[in-house]
Structure formats: structure tokens, C-alpha cells
Amino acid sequence: MQANSEQRKRELVRPIPGNWWLRRRPYTVFMLRELSAGFIALYAILLFRLMHRAPDQVNFGLLVDELKGPTFIFLHLVVLGFALLNTITTFNLAPRVFKLYRGEEKVPESLIAGAHYAAWIVASIVLLVIAWRA
């Protein structure tokens, strides 16, 4: 009788492979979005540390020249890709998070996502104009 009670107490543990998230596209996109947030944070910390090492204008000019090198250009492109992935997936999820109503009528999800994309485009244009004038 004791053997039966021991069998009942044991849990079923199914082995989960390390690449479980690669088997379905939604899982892969989710994991890449989560990874992107950490990667972007590390990139920001790296840039802050590099800027901290360049306190005067001469050293800052050297830093900017170093950031134009092929290694950093590759890093910039990888971070840009992660930032775009993070932004697009967040904007696509926004209608599920923001349940907006106009009176009794629910605002269409496409309008909510479209508003996010429109604000992103406007902010990007404003920043490009500011950067172009500087």
C-alpha cells in the first residue's frame, strides 16, 4: 500500500527542450521582443559609458569618429532592427490593451494602431528635421 501512495505523490515532469520557442512563430516573436528590450538597454548603457569617457569636445569628436567604424555600424543596425521589432510588436498589441469607446461604440482596433503609427511617423519627422538643422 505504501508503494501506491509514493506513486501518487510523484509529479509528472515533461522535459522541455531549450528551443521550445522556435517551434511556433508567435513564441519566437515574443522571445525576440523580450530579448530586444535587454539588448537595447545594454546598448544605451554602452553609449552612456562611452559618452562619460569623452568629457571635452576633442575626446567627443574622437568618440563620434569611433562610432562610425564598421563594428559600431553593425551594432547600430542590430539595435535598430531590435528597436523596430519592439516598436512594431508593441503598436500591434496596443489595440488589445487600450479598449477605447466613443459613447457605446468601440473604437476600431485598426484606428488605435494607426494612431500609434501616425504619432511615430510625426515624431520621426520632427526628430529628422531637428537633426538635419544641427
Q: In the chain, where are the structural domains located?
A: 21-133
Average pLDDT over residues 33-51: 90
Average pLDDT over residues 86-97: 91
How far is it, in rounded angstroms, from Cα 97 to Cα 54? 42
Q: What share of the chain has pLDDT > 70, as a percent?
A: 94
Residue of 67 and 125 predicted with greater confidence: 125
Average pLDDT over residues 61-90: 91
pLDDT (0 to 100) of residue 44: 93
Query: Residue 70 — very low, low, confident or very high, per pLDDT cuts 50/70/90?
Result: very high
Average pLDDT over residues 110-116: 93
Beta carbons of 88 and 113 less than 8 angstroms apart: no
Across-strand partners of 105?
102
Residue 72 has pLDDT above 70, yes or no: yes
pLDDT (0 to 100) of residue 131: 93
Average pLDDT over residues 124-130: 96
CATH architecture of 21-133: Up-down Bundle (1.20)
List the one residue out of 89, 106, 84, 98 whose CA is nearest residue 40: 84
* C-alpha cell of residue 99: 479598449
Mean pLDDT (the chain, rounded): 88
pLDDT (0 to 100) of residue 7: 61
pTM of the model: 0.74
